[in-house]
Amino acid sequence: MAPTKVNIDLQNERNKCTFNVEELTNFLDEGPQNTKNRRELEKKILSIKGIRDEIPEEYLSHKEKYENAVRKSVLLYKAIKDNNDKNTPLEEKIRASFRNVISSAIFKDNSPFMLHNAMFLTAILGQANDEQREYWLKRAENYEILGTYAQTELGHGTFLRGLETQATYDSNTEEFILHSPSITAYKWWPGGLAHTANYCMIMAQLYIKDKNYGLQPFMVQIRDEETHMPLPGIHVGEIGPKLGFNTVNNGFLGFNHARIPRNWMMMKNAQVLKDGTFKASPNSKLVYGTMVYVRVTILNTASIYLAKAVTIAIRYAAIRRQSQLKNGEPEPQILDYVTQQHKLIIAIATAHAYHFTVRWLWDLYVKVNKELGRGQLDNLPEMHSLACALKVISSADCTALIEKCRMACGGHGYMLSSCLPFLYGVSTATCTYEGENTVLLLQTARSLFKAWGQALKGQPLSPSMAYLADKSPSSTFDGTLDGIIKSFQVVAKGKLSASVSSFEQYLASGLDPEDAWNKASIQLTNAAEAHARVLVLTAYKTEVERKTVTLSPPLKTVLHQLLELYFIFWTLEKMGDLLLYTNLSEKDVRVLQKRYEDLLEKIRPNAVGLVDGFDFRDEVLNSTLGAYDGRAYERLMEEAQKSPLNAEPVNESFHKYLKPFLRGKL
Amino acid sequence: MAPTKVNIDLQNERNKCTFNVEELTNFLDEGPQNTKNRRELEKKILSIKGIRDEIPEEYLSHKEKYENAVRKSVLLYKAIKDNNDKNTPLEEKIRASFRNVISSAIFKDNSPFMLHNAMFLTAILGQANDEQREYWLKRAENYEILGTYAQTELGHGTFLRGLETQATYDSNTEEFILHSPSITAYKWWPGGLAHTANYCMIMAQLYIKDKNYGLQPFMVQIRDEETHMPLPGIHVGEIGPKLGFNTVNNGFLGFNHARIPRNWMMMKNAQVLKDGTFKASPNSKLVYGTMVYVRVTILNTASIYLAKAVTIAIRYAAIRRQSQLKNGEPEPQILDYVTQQHKLIIAIATAHAYHFTVRWLWDLYVKVNKELGRGQLDNLPEMHSLACALKVISSADCTALIEKCRMACGGHGYMLSSCLPFLYGVSTATCTYEGENTVLLLQTARSLFKAWGQALKGQPLSPSMAYLADKSPSSTFDGTLDGIIKSFQVVAKGKLSASVSSFEQYLASGLDPEDAWNKASIQLTNAAEAHARVLVLTAYKTEVERKTVTLSPPLKTVLHQLLELYFIFWTLEKMGDLLLYTNLSEKDVRVLQKRYEDLLEKIRPNAVGLVDGFDFRDEVLNSTLGAYDGRAYERLMEEAQKSPLNAEPVNESFHKYLKPFLRGKL
């Protein structure tokens, strides 16, 4: 088979697609110019000599993986630096970059430089005063220094007040003394920290004259700029292999009375004067801005990871043939099995749902951020609570569906060359980092609990929780999309109400409020998840309806079919809750099930067109199963030939170990 | 902290355990003598010099991992061979070995020899006639040859009739000519096939004089016994890295007109005479025996993998302290959070549920196998259908809970040194191999569909499906364990009935039966899962009640608490189905929720004792987080120090790539 020929089954799928795929791509990119820019950047970066691997990373040792990743990182980041457009406002640049994923053509498992941009620069922007910002941002943006950000410690993550690293002010020398008082105080996890970064922003407990002033951010030089040797008082190294991110060089960092100048404490929000006077931050809530930003980007990556996984799985399902539906007929494409459609089409719809939700949330973020700049903080709690709840379900849903996509590819999905295990590895991490999901659900539950009390008192609620104040919501189920949103609101309210009652009963039984809260916490997290469900359904529907107005009818139709499928899927998935809190009937369930099965049938012919519309280049997908031409078997075999083990017909271990064993000479 | 000292939190947990842990271990081992034998074997194997890694496997390159695995395999299998007790009947030996997992102290990711015993020997036993068996079994059991088993092809898995490999009989030379007519015909996946095994049992399409006689098993020599070079007409190599099993040396195998003698076709079930006469098998169903056996062992490994994962997660949850429940109090153990108990205690109960279920199923298997030996096949379909359904939910449940255990350990669960990602990797594979789970659910649905028809006609049903014939099952929910089983039967019946109706409606709408089946297949798989749920609930309850009679009251109490928790958990989990098909009320749900929360509180003090009772040695757990002494942070740090990257303060990539980049000299 010639390399350029497209698998006939895949070609047939494309022939029967009812909409214009390029129109979909432009729509997802928010305009043809964005598509053009993205493709040009991709092309430019892929044309850099040596930037892609000849032998896949997964054959290398852990050390070789790192060295190879540094080699490629300097090529990639040089290009990113050269490409930096300083004229476009940052917020626009970020929005336009939501679908820029070219780095995954270079790294299946990310770069050791990734935290320099993602966290180090962000932390400087959020924590440095003007003078500090001028100095550090310039050096960092020009890549004169390479940085990372360290907060989590070996023994402490979620509970920030529990962090142990100390920064003690010495007014004699006007320095801070950084110290890790125990093994659990070691910083642990930051990408690039181990052998790559020479600077690091750390969070530490500030002490002045034996008094603790809470967590503050400090810039630390960890390695000599000339020799890269760790500086005195710095104990730095790598933490070892992980489920993913194995080219990221995650590190640990311990301090033994290391000293930094006074003005290396980042002083945007709080200051320490020369004499040791502490000037508190005018508003400590400002730090939430960065957290919210990071969580919005998690929503975006969750949606991108899932879009990639389902592109791979749908294309493979179109070329894989298996079993017999009917005697005497050829083996059908596995995409024709309704159970397979059930696994995969919801994954397309979910990638869309979060695609729209993140853009809706970004608009809000930009608005709230502008308000913050004017010192107006009213909408920050709402923004923070939305970002919490949506971070949780986007990461959880997308991770679960990526794994479903992988398993829908059978054994071949288990091959690293399919790229699906890598996608799972980086995606599942988002459920844990930047706020562990259960912890965030409990935080969301706190906001809901508070809102519930306010609603009872007739006080105004933030827009996303306003439905809690609806005194007599109709528990009549109707199958329209708006009706489904209403029903999910009724469910969220019902679950919140039940957990509040449960909490109150535990309280009445004699428990302390904290213990009563703990005992009711399973129900509280369920209520928080139900609320998050309302948010996504609402955002997805609002945005699709608002944004598809100018699209051609065929594309509009299929985008609305996906929207409807998403709504019906979740109605069936949460059937128990709806039976409990609305008047949903057994007959309704049967009707919904039929409607769902019919929607799968309607969307099925456009499945390949829909994933083609995500417009991931083969290099970006990095997958033997998912390439545009559908030559999955050939690629699996070609990729296997790259194994260094396959370079020799007989491995030396035969002579050394195996033969003596088989001869009974051990 | 002295290495031998146990973490104080963990010690306190052990002090408050209400039952005798050794009694639990003996109970799980089915007798103190079995515990003793197991421990002695473990000790013996661990005392072999060099059998454990100094540098963890995960730091090595793919090739080095393999070479190291061969090195360790010869040591392990030599010991296993020496330990082989030829006097105990095979069935007893297998049962006694259910909790023998010492090999996981040597391999986190299994041995390249694993298929020799697990499949090659099994295939010889199941497929060879007496004469062949005498010859091959002896060579294989003595490890004169090393074998594997190859069925799946690059393009074909589930659908056996679709396999392409050809074995064409040449009556002139009395040989079979083995041939792979295309790339998709390549055998793909078998462990040890790539560079380790020198023999292989393969499944191929038998052709005699251009006529196809279906799939038959053939012995093939793939490598020279002396030189280990692949033989003429054999194209063999490795398939590359995977999500797990990276030390197993999974391989591909293609034939180019390779020849084998006539009597290398395994002729227990069908024969080819010298002149090319084909003699069909007296009963083709006999091959099901092996499939059933393998699926029973999957149930067992699923339960073991989960028991390990939850041992790690519970011990870590006992030593990890985080956040504050109450102002001014120290950070609590995370095991005190009810959300954490909700994640983990069901995992202990599930490991127990499948522990009991597999022993119940094994008894049945032994019985049915004896009947087969007498030519009595009546109970084979029932046995086959039970093994199908139970393989599906054991693999799916345990895999999902292993992942829940990993995520319950936060970031540290993501470290390979926790061993949790390895456990997930080997466990998730069981959802795909030996019958992909969705495919098996559809097979189960076929049996149910057939039984449903028989029930309507008043024909007798097999014991496990007899409840389908109950004409007027009570839809009254009562919260006793028997009542819950009854309700789950009502659900399974309801779901089956709904899918049959749906199928019939699709049929009535003009679809072919195959298309109607396909359209109803989501509902059919749900019905099959509901049936499997009934089986596990029934088996778990029956066995606990039967086997705990002679136990001491404290242990009996906690085992019954776990049983009850398991029942309530699933009742709440499947609330929607119960609301739909029984008279379960909102009030019942509230009562069940409270009962569940109270059970967590009751079991919580015994959580560490329960996982200690699984009696996994530290070497077997192979986990920084899960060791008996609870020194998780120290072990994480010690393990990180083993990284070859940490052997040098500055990696050479700094001078080669990073410094020129930071100096702008790229």
Q: Rounded to whole angstroms, what are the CA distances from A440 to A305, A359, A444, A445, A521?
A: 21, 21, 6, 8, 12
CA dihedral A385, A391, A396, A402 (to 10 degrees): 160
Q: Is B434 a catalytic residue?
A: yes
Copy the structure tokens of residue B447. 């049996």
Kindly give, in sequence order, each residue whose CB lies less than 8 Å from that of residue A508, ignoring residues fewer than 6 positions away.
none
C-beta separation of B302 from B428 below 8 A? no
Count CB neighbours of A155 within 10 A. 23
ipTM of this complex > 0.90? yes
- A428 contact B CB<8A: yes
- B110 contact A CB<8A: no
Query: Is the pLDDT assigned to residue A160 strictly greater than 60?
Result: yes
Q: Which domain holds residue B272?
A: 116-288
Say whether both B425 and B557 belong to one domain: yes
Paired sense of beta strands B271-272 and B278-279, if any: antiparallel
Cα gap B250→A643, rounded to integer Å: 12
Say whether both A230 and A307 belong to one domain: no
Measure the N-to-C terminal CA separation of chain B; round to a whole number of Å.
48
Say whether both B309 and B250 belong to one domain: no
Q: Which helix (H) or strand (E) holds A579?
A: helix A575-581
Interface with chain A: mutation pick from B53, B180, B339, B403, highest number of A CBs within 10 Å: B339
- A378 contact B CB<8A: no
Copy the structure tokens of residue A647. 């370079």
Say whether both B122 and B192 belong to one domain: yes
Rg (CA), chain B: 27
Say whether both B330 and B217 belong to one domain: no
pLDDT of residue A346: 98
pLDDT of residue A285: 64
pLDDT category, A1, cuts 50, 70, 90?
A: very low
Asked if residue A646 belongs to a domain, the reply is: no
Give the domain-ending residue among B288, B310, B328. Answer: B288
pLDDT of residue A85: 81
C-beta separation of B644 from A195 below 8 A? no
Give the domain-ending residue among A288, A317, A346. Answer: A288
Paired sense of beta strands A199-208 and A166-170, if any: parallel
How confident is the model over A365-393, as a mean pLDDT? 92
pLDDT of residue B2: 44
Cα gap B450→B447, rounded to integer Å: 5
Q: Rounded to whole angstroms, what are the CA distances from A643 to A563, A623, B186?
A: 43, 16, 17
Cα gap B200→B218, rounded to integer Å: 8
Say whether both B316 and B205 belong to one domain: no
Asked if residue A64 belongs to a domain, the reply is: no
A325 to chain B: closest CA residue? B514
CA distance B547 to chain A (A): 33
Please, how many CA atoms are within 13 Å of residue B105, restricted to the half-sphere of its CB? Answer: 23
Query: Is the pLDDT assigned to residue A284 strictly greater than 80?
Result: no
Say whether both A197 and A245 belong to one domain: yes
Asked if residue B237 belongs to a domain, the reply is: yes
Give the burial class of A88: count Cβ atoms within 10 A of its Cβ; 0-12 exposed, 13-18 middle, 19 or more buried.
Answer: exposed
pLDDT digits (tens, 9 = 90+) for A30-63: 999 999 999 999 999 999 999 999 999 999 999 9
Which residue in the set B56, B78, B575 is minimally distant from A666, CB to CB? B78
pLDDT category, A658, cuts 50, 70, 90?
A: very high
Say whether both B304 and B340 belong to one domain: yes
B412 to chain A: closest CA residue? A154
Total domains, chain A: 2
Asked if residue B410 belongs to a domain, the reply is: yes
Say whether both A444 and A579 belong to one domain: yes
- B547 contact A CB<8A: no
- A183 contact B CB<8A: yes
- Chain B residues with beta carbon closer than 8 angstroms to that of A66: 645, 651, 653
CA distance A122 to chain B (A): 20
Number of A:B CB contacts under 8 A? 378
pLDDT digits (tens, 9 = 90+) for A618-632: 999 999 999 999 999
pLDDT of residue A283: 66
Residue B28 or residue A94, greater confidence: B28
Please, how many CA atoms are within 13 Å of residue A233, restricted to the half-sphere of its CB? Answer: 14
Count CB neighbours of B450 within 10 A. 14
Copy the structure tokens of residue B610. 């329960």
pLDDT of residue B286: 61
C-beta separation of B360 from B383 below 8 A? no
3-state secondary structure of A584: coil
Write the CATH number for A148. 2.40.110.10
CB contact under 8 A, A644 and B62: yes
Say whether both B284 and B364 belong to one domain: no
CA distance A127 to chain B (A): 24
- B329 contact A CB<8A: no
In chain B (666 residues long), the average pLDDT of successive 10-residue segments reads 77 98 98 96 97 95 98 96 85 88 95 95 92 96 97 94 97 98 98 98 98 96 98 98 97 98 95 96 68 91 98 98 88 97 98 98 93 88 94 98 98 98 98 96 97 95 95 88 97 97 98 97 98 98 97 98 98 98 96 98 98 98 98 98 97 98 92
The average confidence (pLDDT) of chain A is: 95
- A653 contact B CB<8A: yes
pLDDT digits (tens, 9 = 90+) for A257-271: 999 999 999 999 899
Asked if residue A358 belongs to a domain, the reply is: yes
C-beta separation of A55 from A417 below 8 A? no
pLDDT category, A253, cuts 50, 70, 90?
A: very high
Copy the structure tokens of residue A41. 């950047």
Asked if residue A109 belongs to a domain, the reply is: no
Asked if residue A97 belongs to a domain, the reply is: no
Copy the structure tokens of residue A116. 């320099």
Exposure class string for B248-273: b at 16+ Cβ within 10 A, else e: bbbbbbbbeebbbebbbbbbbbbbbe
Cα gap A162→A380, rounded to integer Å: 25
Asked if residue B478 belongs to a domain, the reply is: no
Give the burial class of A52: count Cβ atoms within 10 A of its Cβ; 0-12 exposed, 13-18 middle, 19 or more buried.
Answer: middle
Query: Is the pLDDT assigned to residue A6 strictly greater than 50?
Result: yes
pLDDT of residue A2: 44
Say whether both A246 and A372 belong to one domain: no
Cα gap B582→B475, rounded to integer Å: 4
CA distance A282 to chain B (A): 25
pLDDT of residue A286: 62
Write the CATH number for A429. 1.20.140.10
Which residue in the set A322, A656, A664 is minimally distant from B158, CB to CB? A322
In this prediction, what percent of chain A has a pLDDT beyond 70? 98
pLDDT category, A96, cuts 50, 70, 90?
A: confident
How confident is the model over A1-30, as a mean pLDDT? 91
Say whether both A191 and A304 belong to one domain: no
- Chain A residues with beta carbon closer than 8 angstroms to that of B522: 338-339, 342, 593, 596-597
pLDDT digits (tens, 9 = 90+) for A528-578: 999 999 999 999 999 999 999 999 999 999 999 999 999 999 999 999 999
Copy the structure tokens of residue B178. 């083995």
Copy the structure tokens of residue B221. 């020599």
Give the domain-ending residue among B288, B321, B356. Answer: B288
pLDDT of residue B1: 39
Residue with tokens 């127990």: B352
B591 to chain A: closest CA residue? A502
> Three-class SS string for B138-175?
HHHHCCCCCEEEECCECCECCCHHHCCCEEEEECCCCE
